[in-house]
Amino acid sequence: MVETANSMGTTVTVEAPARPELVAPLWHTVVMVSFLLGISWLGAHSGTLFPGFIAGHIHSRTGSYSVMIAMEWAMVAFVWYGMRIQKRPFKDLFGTRRLTFTGVLRDLGIASLFLIGSDIVLGIIAFSLGVHRNPAVARISPQTKAEVVVFLLLSLSAGICEEIVCRGYLQKQITVLIGNAGAAVVLQGIIFGAAHGYQGSKFMIIIAVYGCMFGTLALLRKSLHPGMMTHALQDGLAGVLVRHLAK
């Protein structure tokens, strides 16, 4: 409540704008970010997508992909749990736009343009950093038709889950915590890049920029859908193209 006086000298009580509530408890976000950075640190030291103690027990690419798919959806389940504690609807993460046929077509067009534009920007950054092929992606790219199928499922899962976790959950949570949507876009992008330690420091910078671009897209479009489409397409195409180039 805020009390103000009008020109007549009468005191008027005005409702103060309600402060946005956190998406989930603060401890929940600390756990999520710690998990992402911890897995990234272990992956960086093992040089693989997984920490050494996990990678040593996985003897096939399809097994690796399956474990990663499970981890992606486990993070989404953890986000859902945190939002349930806070009594926030899970659908709040996806944005204000309703999912309609026309909207899906529009989002697909936006995703296609964003994919092309972002690849040009990231290509320029990669060139300026002196990096070309990504050996980490080459190591995990599918080699057989069966691996391609499971890898595409992984790409779809990553597109959905990582957008929910980073551009949905983290970006909204940080926005509430610091009260600045633009800064939240940058911070979640940095976390997103830092979570890819197995790809090396230069590619972590590139991925951080990519995360900021995804965050900007989600903010402007008020929806995660175009980002999910682009993310899934980018990951899927990257893996399949590396497989063909390696032949």
- Number of separate domains in the chain: 1
In a domain, 208, yes or no: yes
**SS3 string of the chain?**
CEEEECCCCCEEEECCCCCCCCCCCHHHHHHHHHHHHHHHHHHHHHCCCCCHHHHCCCCCHHHHHHHHHHHHHHHHHHHHHHHHHCCCCHHHHHECCCCCHHHHHHHHHHHHHHHHHHHHHHHHHHHHHCCCCCHHHHHHCCCCHHHHHHHHHHHHHHHHHHHHHHHHHHHHHHHHHHCCHHHHHHHHHHHHHHCCHHHCHHHHHHHHHHHHHHHHHHHHHCECHHHHHHHHHHHHHHHHHHHHHCC
First-last CA distance in the chain: 69
Structure tokens at 34: 């710690």
pLDDT at residue 209 greater than cutoff 60: yes
- Mean pLDDT score across all residues of the chain: 88
Q: What is the pLDDT of residue 92?
A: 93
In a domain, 9, yes or no: no
pLDDT at residue 90 greater than cutoff 90: yes
pLDDT at residue 97 greater than cutoff 90: no
Which of the two residues, 141 and 2, has the higher pLDDT score? 141
> Residue 209: which domain range?
25-245
Calculate what percentage of the chain has a pLDDT beyond 90: 65
Neighbours of 211 (CB within 10 A): 27
In a domain, 14, yes or no: no
Query: CA triplet 135, 141, 143: central angle to 5 degrees?
Result: 125
Q: What is the pLDDT of residue 6?
A: 57
Q: What is the pTM of this model?
A: 0.88
pLDDT at residue 52 greater than cutoff 80: no
The arithmetic mean of pLDDT across residues 63-70, rounded, is 91
Q: Under the phi-then-psi rule, with left for phi > 0, alpha for psi from -120 to 50, and beta for the rest, what region is 179?
A: left
Look at residues 36, 89, 53, 81 and name the one whose alpha carbon lies nearest to residue 207: 36
Calculate what percentage of the chain has a pLDDT beyond 70: 85
In a domain, 210, yes or no: yes
> Using one digit for the tens of pLDDT, what is the confidence trace for 98-129?
778 888 999 999 999 999 999 999 999 999 99
> Using one digit for the tens of pLDDT, what is the confidence trace for 25-48?
999 999 999 999 999 998 887 767
In a domain, 6, yes or no: no
The arithmetic mean of pLDDT across residues 230-234, rounded, is 96
pLDDT at residue 13 greater than cutoff 70: no
Q: What is the pLDDT of residue 53?
A: 45
Q: What is the pLDDT of residue 98?
A: 76
In a domain, 8, yes or no: no
pLDDT at residue 14 greater than cutoff 80: no
